[in-house]
Amino acid sequence: MICQKLSDLSESDQKKLLSRNTALSDVEASVDAILKNVRENGDAAILDYAEKFDKAKLSALLVSQKEIEDGVSGLSPELLAHLQKAADNIRKFHEAQLPKELWVENTKGILLGQKPVPLARVGCYVPGGRASYPSTVLMTAIPAKAAGVGEIIVCTPARSDGTVHPLTLAASKIAGVDKIFKTGGAQAIAAMAYGTESIPQVDKIVGPGNVYVTAAKMKVRDFAEIDFPAGPSEVLIIADDFANPKMAAADILAQAEHDPNSVSVLVTPSDAFAKAVMNEVDSQKKTAKRKEIIDAALLNSAVLITKDLDECVSFSNKFGPEHLQIMVDPKLEDAVLSKIKNAGSIFVGNYAPVPAGDYASGTNHVLPTSGYVRMYSGLNTAHFLKFMTVQKISKEGLSNIKDTVIALAEEEGLFEHAEAVRKRFE
């Protein structure tokens, strides 16, 4: 893990930090082959990949109602209550995001409107692999449900015994998921985009995943829209001497345990704080349960010392983090926050760690990574809606813009456009 002044950071190290080492081109050939196979062979290809990648020999892709009930029945009531509490907070926040129908009369006799309409069917990708992510079910399915999506499906890898993790099943039930399918990776994205004998084609695919999943999502957009590229997790922390180095180190390790390609960056104007955090990272990781993953992720990570907080903010905006933590003197929090232009989700204060948003505060944890926050927003209710414009025009209203429409249409050489208006007044 690098610890040095930002001004001394080599060009290659800065490029490594900013690129996140997630080049989609590295897996393009493999992903293309998977997409082609699934498109041509449907369920047969999916079943083969389940055995090859997940070591699961499946007889069916759809999770049965009995499997769901059996899985959920084995969970403790206390754990289910925690899952329900998280779901309630997520639902409240995303229902508050729902847009209302818009009507405006900017010219007398012309009433303009915007009508939000939910998508018919959405596919939620929920990673499996190194860990189970029932929280991702809540984060993807609950906003879709709040938006009024007609059908919500989940695709998630099966475990080697052919089952889906019980918490994923419970989260799906709580979130109102209609169907769950046992498939992961690029093949799951292909199945949702093209449709197979068992898995229906969806209008939109949402959810995070590894570089194969992200590459597949980017390639199927002619068949299904996607939310945005969402790869390995990342955090950038802006901190001064007010922050607690033990907390900051814990936050770095929390992101690092996600994936060997995860990135954690701390920027601070305090040399003493930087050193204290480095010492805490070394101390805390000794007892970490996912130490091998953390050690790999820390090779992608850095503690950078700046000349002041403004330079911290400038670097953060250039980096464009998925998660941004602001751990500074409370009197400076709003000033720092006001200067942030690029971030997926922002956590302000010593007691606002990223895991709060990952699970239970209510905001969404499905966020753009690798700098895509420059152009994409994190997952929200609007991702599951289309917006249709409406215009109600009276004769008086058309009369008020008649000359403008005719003049512009004829200037563009579209004379029948002009006639379509002119004939209404003959």
Can you say which residues are annotated as belonging to the binding site for NAD(+)?
125, 187, 210
Binding residues for Zn(2+): 255, 258, 358, 417
Q: Residue written as tokens 């922002």?
A: 346
Burial 379-402 (b: 16+ CB within 10 A, else e): bbbbbbbeeeeeeeeeeebbeeeb
The Cα–Cα gap between 120 and 203 comes to 7
Q: Find, among 223, 259, 201, 246, the residue nearest to 350 by Cα.
A: 246
The phi, psi pair for 292, rounded to 5°, reads -65, -40
The CA-based diameter of the chain, rounded to the nearest angstrom, is 85
Instruction: Sheet containing 2-5: give its strands across.
Output: 2-5, 302-305, 263-268, 234-239, 323-327, 345-348
Q: Distance of alpha carbon 238 from its chain centroid, rounded?
A: 22
The phi, psi pair for 284, rounded to 5°, reads -70, -35
Q: Residue written as tokens 């345990």?
A: 257
| Burial class for 272, CB neighbours closer than 10 Å (0-12, 13-18, 19+) | exposed
DSSP letter string over 211-250?
HHHHHHHHH-TTTSEE-----S-EEEEEE-TTS-HHHHHH
Catalytic residues: 322-323
The Cα–Cα gap between 60 and 82 comes to 31
Binding residues: 125, 187, 210, 233, 255, 258, 323, 358, 412, 417
